[in-house]
Amino acid sequence: MVSFIDHIHITVRDIGISESFYNKFLPLVGFDLRDKEYAQVPEHAYELIEYNSASFSFGIVSPRAEYLDDCVSRRRPGAVHHVAFGTREKVDVDSIFSAVQSIPNVRIINKPCFYPEYCDDYYAFFFTDCDGIELEVVNYSRTSRIGSSLA
């Protein structure tokens, strides 16, 4: 059996602000905005915007009213720690970094560099979206990690 991620949905504070952010970011990592879908379930106060690609779908979900003032903490049990988007070439990490810097509400955590503590050729940068959710863009040879302590 081959494992794969089908979709990831994250809850955001303001779906309109997040849609603007992800409309700028996700095309940089291969998503086509023409493949974006909307869904609403009013009786559950649920709104979803799903960005689809050939690899997987990434969705943003409206919060429930009672959680609107909660703080994001990637270390809280059940929370998303971070989401990493892979690239085919190292140079893609640098070009995406250049474009990401111009997106409003981005906070760069680390500029592109090698992380030999992950594996010899692990090259990435880290940033947060408009809700403080940590995102990563990375390039490395996945086969170099097989058998390592992080694989």
The string of pLDDT tens digits covering residues 65-116 is 898 888 888 888 888 999 999 999 999 999 999 999 999 989 999 999 999 9
Residue 150 lies in a domain: no
Residue 81 lies in a domain: yes
Number of domains the chain is built from: 1
Of 58, 60, 68, 51, which is closest to residue 13 (Cα–Cα)?
68
Residue 63 lies in a domain: yes
22 lies in which domain range?
7-68+76-145
Residue 151 lies in a domain: no
The string of pLDDT tens digits covering residues 7-65 is 999 999 999 999 999 999 999 999 999 999 999 999 988 999 999 999 999 999 999 98
User: CB-based contacts of 80: which residues, under 8 Å, 6+ apart?
Assistant: 10, 74, 133
pLDDT band at 144 (very low <50, low <70, confident <90, very high): low
